[in-house]
Amino acid sequence: MSLLSQLEKINLGSVLGEADNARYVTSKILHLVQSQEKTRKEMTSKGSTGIEVILSTLENTKDPQTMLNILNILIEVISVGGGRKANILVAKGGTQILLQLLLTASKDSPPNEELMVLLHTLLAKIGPKDKKIGMKARINGAHNISLNLVKQNLQNHRLILPCLQVLRVYSTSSVNAVSLGKNGVVELMFKIIGPFSKKNTSLMKVALDTLAALLKSKTNARRAVDRGYVQVLLTIYVDWHRHDSRHRYMLIRKGVLQCIKSVTNIKLGRKAFIDANGMKILYNTSQECLAVRTLDPLVNTSSLIMRKCFPKNRLPLPTIKSAFHFQLPVIPASGPVAQLYNLPPDVDDVVDESDDNDDAETESEIETENDDKDQHFKNDDIETDINKLKPRQELGRPLEELKMYERFFPELSEKLQECDLVSKEPKPFIPDANLSGPIVVPTAGEEYSAETKQSTKGVALKESNPVLTEEYNRRPAFLELPKKDSVKDSSLHQQNDQRNLSPSCQCLNQEIVKGLDRMSLQSSAKNDQYYSTACVITKESKTSLTTLACSNPCERVSPCGSSLFEGSSVHLGKLCCTGVDSEDEDSRSSSSGEQVMLEVSDVSPVHDCDLYIEMVKTTKSIPEYSEVAYPDYFGHIPPPFKEPILERLYGVQRTKISQDIERLIHQNDIIDRVVYDLDNLSCLVPEEADVLKFNSKFESGNLRKVIQIRKNEYDLILNSDINSNHYHQWFYFEVSGMKTGIGYRFNIINCEKSNSQFNYGMQPLMYSVQEALNSRPCWTRVGTDICYYKNHFSRSSIAAGGQKGKSYYTITFTVTFQHKDDVCYFAYHYPYTYSTLKMHLQKLESMHNPQQIYFRQDVLCETLAGNSCPLVTITAMPESNYYEHICQFRNRPYVFLSARVHPGETNASWVMKGTLEYLMSNNPSAQCLRESYIFKIIPMLNPDGVINGNHRCSLSGEDLNRQWQNPNPDLHPTIYHAKGLLQYLAAIKRLPLVYCDYHGHSRKKNVFMYGCSIKETMWHTNVNAAACDLMEDPCYRVLPKILSQTAPAFCMGSCSFVVEKSKESTARVVVWREIGVQRSYTMESTLCGCDQGKYKGLQIGTRELEEMGAKFCVGLLRLKRMSSPLEYSLPSSLLDIENELMESSCKVTSPTTYVLDEDEPRFLEEVDYSAESNDDQDTELADNVGDYEATNQEDGLSDSDSTRILLS
């Protein structure tokens, strides 16, 4: 410190004789810095002025030796201290001083070599920490000084090495890169790099890194292509690959690949790469590298380049519009649907070739310095206008018009005593209330108690009796095994029933290979008594149904009734048919009956195969489906085993990409045969035994086309949402004709989301008919080698709504089937059809006790296709007709729930099923809940979308959850009338206490909520001061907090209460802002699984989803108790907002997905497969992810580079 004081005095005293003294002091300081760590720390410690004194001396001194001493001091300090100390130097103005010194020193003739070496060494170290170094160097002309030094000293490797490092730093600015390019820097680099040589490898590495940075400029890339340098780079790469047998120069090989990667960002570069046979060269070299794990960075970068240069193709479809057409009653004036209707023919799927206008483009290289881009994320989507945030309750429609909704609230009418408290005549299928079995409340995991199992078992035993009696009526005979002794009687009984009843569906004995999975509805007679004992309808080649009696005796028993197995054929009698007479139940042997009941103790009493068929008959689809998918008909039981989140093996994605690249290189090996095509009705079903058969012509099905690529590999193309040309993610299809022991690879090639939980452990679902016949009727998670990545298909900029041509993504998975010639179904998530909903509501209505539960089902409106949108009301009946009981009944607060506005989010329906079944259960808490609230529920806001296999839209081609601000009664009837119900409640001063819209989330784990808060929204903007003065009731946080304590799948940490501009027309925001409901939520359930709580590491199933629906109800009950004036005030832990609120930084990763920070960490092997240089925001960094750990130090990446790589 005394030496620094002396130096400071020397600076202050401008005496010429002090030069020797300064040289002496700086040499002493240099000695101490080199020998003592303590001195280095003191120099940069907090409060120390050491760096300022040193820099001041450097700026003022004219003595060359003093300069050299000081530069050496600074290099020593920075070399040991890393990025933090370099930042200190930048903050103190070090960059500007060094650049000025460089300018001054360059005027000497010849320049001081030692001084130039040290100056460039120091600039190379601090440059990456100074975001504005490019601009500073350009202003004082320093970048050309470094370039000229290299030109004049090509043989002086000691001097040009640091100069190249500095040029690399300068080149991060595109303006500098272009300027340097004009001065011949690209040609200069090719004089330095060359074929394999063990000499000067460090210089080669730096030159390659500099060249890769320079070639990111399109101008420089074009210059390189024009001079034939793409071929040169490939030749150099092959030479190093062949000679570097011990892999000592992997970083040089990677440097060459980085140059090729940069130059192929432009279309001319990609063409030159293809013309130079680059695909085959990189494919062959990367295959040779696979055996050595340390060479993974080369394989990953090669993959990236090959995927980028893979010629962009359009999807092999006649049009990317939906295969189904529905003429809208009104065409919107603007928006994507209007654009779609106005598209010229054959324009919607043209591949966009104008990705960079290579020849015409002159780069407007405007300097846009990244001021702390990585440190501060500005979220432009968060609403900052406090006036827009403040709820403004407004009806939006005249009160007289809203009176049309009065009929949906009979519980509030004066006539209630006359019409609703009188027990109604039971419907044909309604059992006596006293005899109806309990509805099992869905639970999961350990909470599924033995007591519950016992009661369920009882229900199932009772339900297994198919005999219609006056006391019991028809209950679903679900998965009951008859005694072998009773088969004869069953068969006879069946024949008698066939004579007495006109069944709606008949038994057909078929081979399972012929499609035992589906039931045709053609020519089936309608009959009010639709509970005939025969209920199987299966597929045979275009056979219309006739009344057939099953006369074959049952020699082997299926869970669905009598069946006969002969070799590979399966003859079915009735799938849900004969059981045993009620008096025989008690005498049943435990080995058959009891055991089966234990296996299927989770069966929900609300599934009824016969009733499902009846519901299907009234469902109106655009393709006019006449087939029923077996899983929907027969039902699903959650499997008894846990399904862990799949651990993805390293290298899976790389292998899949390699196989895709082989298609281009070895085109003769590709079969390329269409085996299923909705656009070509004459497409023949393949007859060969080794070709899979596909089908999706059933409710909620989605599969448009299948192309056989290799013997056991198929490309699958999904159908767009109707009246749209995109939204492909949901799939549901049938596969048959498989063999065992073979891994079949399925590639769904036109997905649209940029990432998916398929990359983070999620598996698709499969339902095996053969397994169902063996007492295991359930959807299970299947598939190995699963990954999700960008592919080489794209759509045009016109089709993408004016954006750059958008790439598609592939979901790929491999399945090995357990049974030969099985019929299997695959789905994105557990299917839940509109007909299933109607069946469930019908069963719930038939099974409830009308003396205890007020249950009412209305038709809110009709959809565009003419399907009814159900509205359900549930509450407790008043204790009596006494006035005070009726008043209590009417004055219960409303809870308004909705679900399934997005058809592909089927998990929302399973959560809603859990809610409905809990509300209708005999659980004392459920009764208490019914006595506390009146529930208004719209369980399916988008029936048409669900029926027709859409992923996100209704038949209008629009996302209904973006229409709540101004719904059109002709185009969005369900939203228009759902909002009308809420507006009516607001008009009569009966605002719901809670509104919740159930959704599914494709990119996050767990279950969580989005709510609305002005204060929290303001906290995440730059106007935090305004938020401090706001007074806001924190009640909106209570329900999510309760759920986080009671529901194992719920995660409070994933919840957000920020209002975004892009969400202003969603149900959650509109109900909060316009209707005035403070507790207005979206509840999002994961499609994948949980990473916290009891279900951590497990994929989510229907049992857990239904449990979430039930736990939501329990949460409402706790909310009621906590907000009651008789209870104590809310616990502070529930409202401790200030501490919890701002812990995480908000990010909006896309206009439609609000998340906190990253959805998921990136995979180390994950790379971006963009074919356009700007197809994604940051394609330049992604390729480094794969080798970040291995190469960060060797590559000399700065800290900011590393951070950017990990966050990209």
Q: Which residues are marked as active site?
A: 1084
Burial code of 751-773, b = ≥16 C-beta within 10 A, e = fewer? bbbbbbbbbbbbbbbbbbbbbbb
* Phi, psi of 255, rounded to the nearest 5 degrees: -60, -40
Say which amino acid occupies 19.
A
∠ Cα 64 70 76 (to 5°): 135
Asked whether 570 and 538 are in contact (CB, 8 A), the reply is: no
* Phi, psi of 943, rounded to the nearest 5 degrees: -55, -40
CA-nearest of 918, 728, 740, 899 to 807 is 728
Asked whether 1085 and 1100 are in contact (CB, 8 A), the reply is: yes
Q: What is the Cα–Cα distance from 390 to 1030, expressed in whole angstroms?
A: 11
Radius of gyration for the chain, computed over Cα atoms and rounded to the nearest angstrom? 36
Q: What is the Cα–Cα distance from 1000 to 905, expressed in whole angstroms?
A: 5
Q: What is the Cα–Cα distance from 789 to 659, expressed in whole angstroms?
A: 13
∠ Cα 571 576 577 (to 5°): 80
3-state secondary structure 280-322: HHHHHHHHHHCCCHHHHHHHHHHHHHHHHHCCCECCCCCCCCC
Q: Could you tell me the sign of the dihedral formed by the alpha carbons of 262, 266, 267, 271, in that order?
A: negative
Q: What is the Cα–Cα distance from 764 to 730, expressed in whole angstroms?
A: 11
Q: What is the Cα–Cα distance from 206 to 166, expressed in whole angstroms?
A: 10
- Tell me the β-bridge partners of 779: 767
**Could you tell me the two tokens for 107?**
């005027």
Residues 6+ apart with CB under 8 A from 677: 683, 704, 705, 706
- Tell me the β-bridge partners of 627: 520
**Could you tell me the two tokens for 257?**
């690949």
Cβ atoms within 10 Å of 428's Cβ, excluding its own: 11
**Could you tell me the two tokens for 1202?**
């590393």
Asked whether 240 and 193 are in contact (CB, 8 A), the reply is: no
Q: What is the Cα–Cα distance from 530 to 948, expressed in whole angstroms?
A: 25
Asked whether 1078 and 1040 are in contact (CB, 8 A), the reply is: no
Q: Got the DSSP string for 804-859?
A: SPEEEEEEEEEEE-SSTT-EEEEESS----HHHHHHHHHHHHHHS-TTTEEEEEEE
* DSSP H stretches of helix in 933-999: 943-947, 973-987
Say which amino acid occupies 698.
F
775 phi-psi bin (left φ>0, alpha ψ -120 to 50, beta other): left
CA-nearest of 867, 865, 981, 901 to 934 is 981
CA-nearest of 455, 452, 474, 454 to 464 is 474
Q: What is the Cα–Cα distance from 686 to 176, expressed in whole angstroms?
A: 60
**Could you tell me the two tokens for 745?**
């690879």
419: buried, middle or exposed (CB in 10 Å: 19+, 13-18, 0-12)? exposed
User: From the centroid of its chain, how far is CA 238?
Assistant: 40
| CA atoms in the 13 A half-sphere facing the CB of 182 | 8
Q: What is the Cα–Cα distance from 431 to 435, expressed in whole angstroms?
A: 7
**Could you tell me the two tokens for 1159?**
């959805």
